[in-house]
Amino acid sequence: MDSGALPQIINFTTMVAFLGFFGKKPLSVFLNARSEEIKKQIDEAEKESKEVSGVFEQAKNNFSHKAEHAKKLRQDAEAFLQRYKEKTMAAAQAESARIVKDGQLFEAGEMNKRKELLQREIGEKSVALAEKYLSDQLEGKDKEKLIAEYIQLVGHGKP
């Protein structure tokens, strides 16, 4: 061996012995403290993991309940819309029937008014034509006799 290697070996051995003698206890204390700290962190992580799992399960259950609730709400809404549609259609049909009936009644009333008006016009024109014919064809005595019969007919309702 080389004469320079022996002092290095002695220095290294002395240093290891020095560190072993004086550094063993602080290193042991440091490693034990660090080990305890890591164990605490692992325990806390497991505890938080369990809490998160519980919250996750609760959220999952809530979600499934919410999904069921939403499905029920949708079914209720569809049923309501169907009932509303049927009710609206029935009301529309009833209103339509009423409008048709009112239209028929109005048409019948208008027809009656038109008939009465037409009958009145025919009566007035018939009277005017009869008056003209009679005034051309009848003489004074016959006219007076006819007027007297008419007045008696109108007054008593019998000839």
pLDDT tens digits in sequence order for the chain, 159 residues long: 567 788 899 999 998 888 888 888 888 889 899 999 999 999 999 999 999 998 888 888 888 888 888 888 899 999 999 999 999 999 989 988 888 888 888 888 888 888 888 888 887 777 777 777 767 776 767 777 777 777 777 766 555
Count: domains in the chain: 1
Q: pTM for the full model?
A: 0.39
Q: E strand or H helix at 157, and its extent?
A: none
Q: How many CB atoms lie within 10 A of CB 30?
A: 11
Query: In Å, what is the CA distance from 51 to each residue of 40, 43, 60, 89, 141?
Result: 16, 12, 14, 55, 128
Q: Give the domain extent around 117.
A: 5-156
Report whether 134 contacts 143 (CB < 8 A).
yes
